[in-house]
A = this chain, B = another copy of it.
C-alpha cells in the first residue's frame, strides 16, 4: 500500500458507466413511488447526472445535491468512488440520454431521456443507441471491461424488457420492499401499449428496448456486443438491470462468456431471483459482500437494510476490490470518509 492506495498487479479494468433517464421513474401509485428516487421528480432526473460527477470528482459539481434517500442511504456511487480512491481504475461515463446536465465528462451517445414505457415507443432511438454502443465497445482498447449503469426507474424497464423477450421477469429494487405489484401493473400496461405479449419480442432485442426499455439498456447491450466481438472480457457490474442488458445481448446473438458481478444485497433479495436469471442467460455470477452489516454508520446500516442495493457499477467495483486484495474493512473506512465528506458539503 502506497499513500493509502493499493497497487494492483496487472492493469485494472476500465469501468464504463452508462447513464440515462426514463420518465418511467416518475410513476407513483397512491403516493408510493416505483423508484427510491421517485418521490421527487427533480431528484429522479438529477440522480444519474450527480452520480457521474461523484464518480469523477468525488463530489457533485453542477448537480444540486448528492443523491441520498430520506433515511440517509447514499447513492451506490459513493461506494464505487471509494473503491476508485483505493484502486484508481479508469472510468468512462456514457450519456445515453440524461435529462439534466452533468459536470462530468461523458461520451455523449444519446440525446434524450426515455419515455414512460406505457407509451407506444419508450426509446425512439434504440437502434442508434445499440449501434453506437457497439462501435464504442469494439473501439475501447481494454482487455477487460466493467459495465455499470445509473438510471432511476431502471428495474421497471428491465422487467418490461425481460418480459418482452420471454425471459424470467424477475428484478430487484432500490427500495427496501420491492413494489412488485406496481411494477407488474406498469409492465402489463407497457406491453399492451406496444401490442406485445410476453415473449413477443424474443430474438428482436432492439425492438424490445424500442417499445418498453430505456436508453441505457440499448446502449449497454450494444457495448456488450461490440466488446465481445473485439475479444474483450466483459464483466457486467450490477444486478437485474445488467442482467436484462445481457438478455438483450444474448437475443442479439452474443454467445461469449459473460460475468455478472453484483452485490450481496441483490443476491439476498429473493424478489430479484438473480441466480435463476443468471443461470437462464448463462452469466457467471459473482456476488461480493462488502461486510457493511453490523457496522455503526448510517450509510452502512441503510445498505444493510436493503436500500439502494446496486447501481453505478457497485457490484463490479466490490468484486474488483476483492480481486485486488483490498480488505473490506479498509473499504468500509473509505466509504465512511467519502460519505462524511459529501454529506458535510450538503450541510454547509
Residues of A within 8 A of B (CB): 2-3, 7, 56-59, 61-62, 88, 92-94, 102-108, 135-136, 139-141
Contact partner, A105, options B57, B88, B103, B106, Cβ 8 Å: B106
CB <8 Å contact, B2 and A141: no
In angstroms, how far is the closest chain B Cβ from the Cβ of A336? 19
Going nearest first, the 5 A-B pairs with the smallest beta carbon separation are A61-B139, A105-B105, A105-B107, A105-B106, A57-B141
Contact partner, A2, options B2, B58, B102, B106, Cβ 8 Å: B2
Contact partner, A62, options B2, B103, B105, B135, Cβ 8 Å: B135
CB <8 Å contact, A62 and B108: no
For A140, list chain B residues within 8 Å (CB): 57, 61
**How far, in angstroms, from A162 to B106 measured CA to CA in the complex?**
32
For A3, list chain B residues within 8 Å (CB): 7
Q: A109: nearest residue on chain B (CB-CB)?
A: B101
For A104, list chain B residues within 8 Å (CB): 105, 107
With A2-B2, A61-B140, A141-B59 as known contacts, state yes or no: A92 contacts B105, CB within 8 Å: yes
CB <8 Å contact, A106 and B103: no
Contact partner, A106, options B59, B62, B106, B139, Cβ 8 Å: B106
**How far, in angstroms, from A93 to B56 measured CA to CA in the complex?**
12
**How far, in angstroms, from A61 to B102 measured CA to CA in the complex?**
23
For A58, list chain B residues within 8 Å (CB): 141
Contact partner, A136, options B2, B103, B135, Cβ 8 Å: B103
For A102, list chain B residues within 8 Å (CB): 107
In angstroms, how far is the closest chain B Cβ from the Cβ of A148? 14
Given contacts A59-B141, A103-B107, 12 further A-B contacts (CB under 8 A): A2-B7, A57-B141, A61-B139, A61-B140, A62-B135, A62-B136, A62-B139, A92-B105, A104-B107, A105-B106, A105-B107, A106-B108
